[in-house]
Amino acid sequence: MFYIDPYYIMLVLPALFVAMWAQGRVSSTFSRYQQVRSYSGMTGEQVARQILDDNGLFNVRVERIAGSLTDHYDPRAQVVRLSEGVYGSESIAAIGVAAHETGHAVQHATHYAPLSIRTAIIPITNFGSRLSFPLLLIGLVMGSQNLVDFGILLFSLVTVFQLVTLPVEFNASSRALRTLESHNILMGDELAGAKKVLSAAALTYVAALIVSAAQLLRLVLLFGNRRRD
């Protein structure tokens, strides 16, 4: 007989559909505004470099990285890495993404609290994500509720990480839009287009939190209240 997990169907599956929808929306929105060249004619790399220099972050490098939408800021290496479709592109989408990633560098330099918290919990989050399910399974096999509970607790760290990530990403986007407007890099409809791109990207982080929270709730409902023999 096959076991049907009702909590997976009720909680996790809808969350996964939300994540798929969010990913599809960011891809389509980025593709749309990737076709719209900005009036400034600046590339993503040039925008990132200007924002960094204006904030005195001359030591932070801007590098090209392979892939699509693989853009990120590496606080350890102090490098803003822009994907191939962003680095040399003059599009509204590229400029918005470049400004967003540069916003993380500014957060790092100004010791923005949520970013500091997220960076600090990365090691323990990675530890928890790797060991949570093995510990939970071992606990079930051995009949140890303590191990099961500990496995669930470790998994909850992933949800905490996703929660802390939200203000970091939202703040980086708001910084980006303010900077693009104040420096006259994007104006009017261009700025509105960049906002749509960054808003769509933000939905992916919200979706990631929803998926993680749904999975955590599923684990709690399935195994958190098991009675010891």
Active-site entry in 63, 84, 101, 169? 101
- Give the amino acid at 73: Y
Write the burial class of residue 143 (CB in 10 Å: 0-12 exposed, 13-18 middle, 19+ buried). Answer: exposed
pTM value is 0.89
Is residue 101 among the annotated active site residues? yes
- Give 75 or 229, the one with higher predicted confidence: 75
**Do 115 and 186 form a contact (C-beta atoms < 8 A)?**
no
Please give the pLDDT value at position 3: 63
Please give the pLDDT value at position 74: 94
Tell me what the mean pLDDT of segment 179-186 comes to: 94
